[in-house]
Amino acid sequence: KPKKRIDAGHPRTLDPALSERLLQIKEADPDLSIRLIIDQVRAEGLIAADRHLPGSTVHRLFKQHGLSSRRPDGEPAGEDRRRFAYQYAGQLWMSDVMHGPSVPQDGRRKRKTYLIAFLDDATRVITHAAFAFAENTRTFLPIFKHALLRRGIPERLYVDNGANYRSHQFAVICAKLGVALIHARPYQPQGKGKIERFFRTCRAQLLARLSAADTASL
Q: What is the DSSP letter of 202?
A: H
Q: What is the DSSP letter of 209?
A: G
Say how far apart CA 164 and CA 157 lie, in whole Å.
14
Residue 177 is part of which domain span?
Answer: 93-216
Say how far apart CA 218 and CA 216 lie, in whole Å.
6
**Residues 140 and 204 placed together within one structural domain of the fold:** yes
CATH of the domain at 98: 3.30.420.10
Contact predicate 104/110, CB 8 Å: yes
Confidence tier at 102 by pLDDT (50, 70, 90)? confident
Say how far apart CA 36 and CA 48 lie, in whole Å.
16
**Residues 209 and 104 placed together within one structural domain of the fold:** yes
Q: In sequence order, which residues have a C-beta less than 8 Å from that of residue 132 and are 6 or more positions away?
A: 113, 114, 116, 139, 140, 143
* pLDDT of 129 strictly over 80: yes
- Residue 186, classified by CB atoms within 10 Å of its CB into exposed (0-12), middle (13-18) or buried (19+), is exposed
**Residues 56 and 100 placed together within one structural domain of the fold:** no
pLDDT number for residue 5: 44
Q: Residue 209 domain-assigned?
A: yes
User: Mind listing the pLDDT tens digit for each residue in 40-58?
Assistant: 888 778 888 778 888 889 9
CATH of the domain at 22: 1.10.10.10
User: Mind listing the pLDDT tens digit for each residue in 74-95?
Assistant: 333 333 344 556 788 999 999 9
User: Mind listing the pLDDT tens digit for each residue in 130-166?
Assistant: 999 999 999 999 999 999 999 999 999 999 888 888 8
pLDDT number for residue 78: 36
**Residues 52 and 145 placed together within one structural domain of the fold:** no
**Residues 202 and 156 placed together within one structural domain of the fold:** yes
Q: Residue 79 domain-assigned?
A: no
